[in-house]
Amino acid sequence: MIIDIGYYAMLAAFLLTGYAIFAGLSGIYKNSANLIDSAYRAHLATFIMVLLSYFSLSIGFLTSDFTVKFIANNSSTDLPIFYKLTAVWGGLEGSLLLWQLLLSGFTAALVLFYKKQHKEIMPFVVTVLSLTSLFLLFMLIGWSSPFAKMLPAPGEGRGLNPLLQNPGMVFHPPSLYLGYVGFNIPFAFAMGSLWAGRQSDEWILATRRWTLVSWFFLTLGMILGGHWAYVELGWGGYWAWDPVENASLMPWLTGTAYLHSVIVQEKRNRLKLWNVLLLITTFTLSILGTFITRSGVLNSVHAFSKSNIGPAFLVFIALILVLSFLLLYLRPGYFKDPEGKASIMSKESSFLLNNVLFLGMAFTVLYGTVFPLLAEGLFDKKLSIQAPFFNSIILPLGVLLIFMMGITQVLGWKTTTNKMLQKNLAIPSLTTLALVVGSMVALAWDWQLSFLAGMAFFAGWVVLSELIKSIRAQRLHNPKPTGFWVKVWQDKRKRGGLIIHLGVVVMVLGFCGNFFGYEDAFTLYPNQSKQIRDYQLTYKGSSERQVLNARHLAVDLELKKKGVYKAELRPAKAFYPTRPEPMTEVAIYSTLISDFYVSLASYNDDGSATLNVYINPMVNFVWASLAFYIIGTFYALAYRPTQLKKQEKA
């Protein structure tokens, strides 16, 4: 009953969106404000309908309505309530619904808050957005509907995949979708204003915050995903270059490139075509990500059930590309950059180079991901392309990128004097060179490690000194004593960027920790001990207990470091009533400097336990970088461009 309401609400949303597009288009071409207002109202109504349908599906999950196929496949009565609510996006159909909910929510927000301010372009922008809505709703009502019935209904559901019963996985998909939908908005603005034939750059300022927030959520989503893999998959790492991970990395790379290059347009009115292309790419890649992960075209660890969405998504991707390029082609005059000079030693140039590197990385990831298809199609060869390949190409590019990140901080717009460069970079670069060479010679570090750590050091130095400068400069210009918070809350745009870049440095240091990692696998009998570096691990015994809906068979290990008791570790096999195979539950003793990570490979019949042990130095730096991204994004968001203030006054 409630599910039927959800289905019909979805159908209504589809029809309303169709109407909104129709009314919007007629309004635009007949120049009728009434029709456009009607389209706006249809968008608001769409949002309400989608929300209703989302609620009805949630209620279906709460009441374990197994007549619905999607619920029967992704839930069970013993599932904790929290996971019942989040199981809504535990499968393809529900996550499409979540995506659509966010998209129509954002569309409604744009209609409510922007329709006066950007009166001329809004009808176009909203129409561009609703094309994606129409596609998703089309998928949701027929092609892959979460409301499809299953008769006769099973007595018990198949349960949510235990791998997904983890807080990291619960918030990872919504966060990624927020990022994807978020990048849809600058895309829609760019396309909308092109379509409207507006020469001005108003869309860039209007979408500055959307871009930042979307970038943040994409980043958050990837960090959550990595953390989930770390604690849930049990192989001691957080990034495996799996097609699913690659799919989320690609839009992040191009989105980050855009985040930088759009500043050049905002400040120097350049790179117009380039920025629009980056938006098209980012948006396409976010759709492509779903295609790659859900169509079964490439295999993957996540082993989502193959679905039939592939062809529909491929057609949609083709449509996006054709329509966007057509629009670009028909508006050639809009991309003329002003004549002018920028030296190689300028921020513009360094941003361009940074874009080359980001795009190069994105290309490598895409190319490596699809190359097995090319090899099979063109050369009849079946290849595997996994982590070792990606690491060996991406790592050098990353080293270059971090080096650029340091340099860029001290470059000025247009040009930079040699004097300035010497003053700001001479000491850090010489020290870095000494460190890189020294670490390779004296400490016999791997060259990759030396370069990565060296560049992180270099960039960290430059970024920190710029941050200190920003704080000092303010004291100079503002000699009269002000409150502490006033001082902190100054120069927000610059500091925001610097703090985020500092986060990147922290994250890279975390990556460097990989080179010092240790791993071992061994079997222990009760009361037996094993020395691993400074640690001593003793097998005390085994225990069984109930954790939420799973029965854990755990081995109890005592961890000592240099003879001092540190922790009781209980890696386990978790048995879920709905799954035949047990899941691996890892145990981690975590300190800021290093993680001691144990997973139970097998609990043997003779009472012994086979363990996989990893020591992961500095892995927590990777997670800690998130704090910098949060604070930095807040700073950058708080900044209002002067042009925008001017606009608002006028």
Partner 1 sequence: MKTPVLFALLLILPAALFGEETLDQRVREIAHQLRCPTCQAMSVKESEAGLATNMKMKIREMLREGKSEKEILAFFVQRYGEWILRSPKKEGINLLLWFSPGILIALAALGLFFRLKGKNAHTHTTDLPPLSAQEKAEINQALKEIEP
Partner 2 sequence: MNRKVIALLLGGFSLLLLATFFYGLFYASDPQSIPSALIGKEAKNFTLTTFEGQTIELKQFRGKPVVLNFWASWCVACKAEAHIMEAAHQKYTPRGAVFIGIAFNDKREDSLAFIRRYGKTYLLGPDNEVGDISLNYGITAAPETFFIDEQGIIVHKVLGAVTPEVIRDFLEERLP
Q: How far is the CB of 241 from partner 2 (least distance, A)?
A: 16
Q: What DSSP string describes 287-308? A: HHHHHHHHSSSS--TT-PPP-T
Beta strand extents in 487-627 (DSSP E only):
518-524, 529-532, 535-547, 550-561, 564-569, 572-575, 583-585, 587-590, 594-603, 609-617
* Residue 311 touches partner 2, criterion: CB under 8 A: yes
What is the pattern of x (binds partner 2, CB under 8 A) and - over residues 328-347?
-x--x---------------
Q: Which residue type occupies 633? A: T
Minimum CB–partner distance for residue 164 and partner 2 (Å): 21
Helices (H), 143-271: 167-195, 202-232, 243-268
Q: How far is the CB of 188 from partner 1 (least distance, A)?
A: 28
- The CB-of-293 to partner 1 minimum distance in angstroms stands at 12
Q: Which is nearer to partner 1, 240 or 630 (CB)?
A: 240
Of 419 and 480, the one with the shorter C-beta distance to partner 1 is 419
Residues that bind partner 1 (CB under 8 A): 235-236, 240, 242, 299-301, 341-344, 349, 352-353, 356-357, 359-360, 363-364, 367-368, 371, 375, 378-379, 381-389, 392-393, 397, 414-415, 417-419, 437, 440-441, 444, 446-447, 519-520, 601-602, 642, 646
Examine residue 279 and tell whether it contacts partner 2 (CB under 8 A): no
Exposed, middle or buried by CB within 10 Å (0-12, 13-18, 19+), for 155? Answer: exposed
Question: Of partner 1, partner 2, none, which one sits near residue 80, judging by CB under 5 to 8 A according to partner kind?
Answer: none
The nearer residue to partner 1, 181 or 405, going by C-beta atoms, is 405
Using the rule CB under 8 A, is 603 a contact of partner 2?
Answer: no
Orientation angle between helical segments 92-114 and 167-195, nearest 10 degrees: 50
Separation CA 190–CA 179 (nearest Å): 17
Query: How far is 146 from 139, CA to CA, in rounded Å?
Result: 10
Torsion sign across C-alpha atoms 420, 451, 344, 496: negative
Sheet holding 587-590, edge to edge: 518-524, 609-617, 594-603, 587-590
With contacts defined by CB under 8 A, name the span among 22-30, 44-52, 186-194, 312-320 that binds partner 2.
312-320
Name the residue nearer to partner 2 (CB basis): 382 or 646. Answer: 382
Eight-state DSSP code of residue 115: T
Q: Which of 9, 45, 57, 298 binds partner 2 (CB under 8 A)?
A: 298
Minimum CB separation of residue 159 from partner 1 in Å reads 21
Strand, coil or helix: 8: helix
Residue with smaller CB distance to partner 1, 167 or 372? 372
What does 82 interact with, of partner 2, partner 1, none (CB < 5 to 8 A by kind)?
A: none
Question: What's the DSSP call for residue 142?
Answer: I
Which entry of partner 2, partner 1, none binds 314, CB below 5 to 8 A by partner kind? partner 2
Q: How many residues does the chain have?
A: 650
Report how far residue 111's alpha carbon sits from residue 122's, in angstroms, rounded to the nearest whole number: 8
8 versus 235: smaller Cβ distance to partner 1: 235
Q: Closest CB to partner 2 among 287 and 500?
A: 287
Rounded Cα gap, residues 404 and 255, in angstroms: 18
Number of residues that bind partner 2 (CB under 8 A): 25
Nearest CB to partner 1, comparing residues 57 and 619: 619
**Best CA proximity match to 520, nearest among 629, 402, 611, 584:** 611
Quote the tokens at residue 301: 């660890």
| Residue 318 contact partner, candidates partner 2, partner 1, none, CB within 5 to 8 A by sort of partner | partner 2
Alpha helices in 478-514 (DSSP H): 484-488, 492-512
Q: Looking at 19-27, 314-322, 395-403, 468-476, which segment touches partner 2 (CB under 8 A)?
A: 314-322
Four-CA torsion 433, 435, 438, 444, nearest 10 degrees: -120
301 part of the interface to partner 2, by CB under 8 A: no
In three-state secondary structure terms, 237 is: coil
Which of partner 2, partner 1, none sits in contact with 64, Cβ below 5 to 8 A by type?
A: none
Q: By CB under 8 A, tell whether 360 contacts partner 2.
A: no
Q: How far apart are CA 203 and CA 494, in angstroms?
A: 22
257: helix, strand or coil: helix
Using the rule CB under 8 A, is 377 a contact of partner 2? Answer: yes
Single residue of 147, 195, 216, 291 touching partner 2 by CB under 8 A:
291
Which partner in partner 2, partner 1, none is near 591 (CB below 5 to 8 A by kind)?
none
444 binds, among partner 1, partner 2, none (CB under 5 to 8 A by kind): partner 1
Q: Restricting to residues 538-577, name those near partner 2 by CB under 8 A.
A: none
Q: How many helices and strands in the chain, by DSSP H and E?
A: 19, 10
3-state secondary structure of 273: helix
> Where on the chain is the footprint of partner 2 (CB under 8 A)?
273, 277, 291, 295-299, 310-311, 314, 317-318, 321, 325, 329, 332, 366, 370, 372-374, 376-377, 382
